[in-house]
């Protein structure tokens, strides 16, 4: 089974402004439970959590989350490199994103 994280409309490592859509799939695993603890978080290059986009349970399927370039306090973040970290069940994926203003 594949576990992927896809950024749209621009490919990874391409600048985005003002928002990006993070598409991902939670795969079905035979013999496993149907709901997996899932989280999507954005970190700065210092490894500090700047925004939690989702934290809950997801069943197998396709999903999307939108990041507007803002931190947890609702303030616009500065231009730079950020890491999107997706975890669902035993699957983990990280992707670099560039926020350009």
Under a CB-based contact definition with an 8 Å cutoff, are residues 84 and 42 in contact?
Answer: yes
- How many C-beta atoms surround the C-beta of residue 28 within 10 A? 11
Query: What pLDDT does residue 10 have?
Result: 38
Rounded average pLDDT over 22-43: 83
Average pLDDT, the chain: 82
Task: Tell me the pTM.
Answer: 0.81
Q: List the CATH code of the domain at 5-99.
A: 2.60.40.4070
Would the pLDDT of 29 be above 70?
A: yes
Measured between alpha carbons, how far is 97 from 101 in angstroms, rounded to an integer?
13
């Amino acid at each position: 089974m594949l576990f992927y994280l896809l950024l749209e409309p621009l490919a990874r490592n391409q600048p985005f402004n003002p928002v990006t859509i993070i598409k991902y799939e939670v795969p079905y695993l035979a013999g496993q439970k149907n709901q997996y603890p899932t989280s999507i978080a954005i970190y700065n290059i210092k490894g500090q959590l700047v925004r939690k986009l989702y934290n809950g349970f997801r069943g197998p399927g396709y999903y999307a989350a939108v990041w507007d370039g803002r931190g947890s306090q609702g303030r616009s973040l500065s231009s730079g490199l950020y890491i999107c970290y997706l975890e669902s069940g035993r699957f983990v994926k990280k992707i670099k994103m560039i926020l350009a203003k």
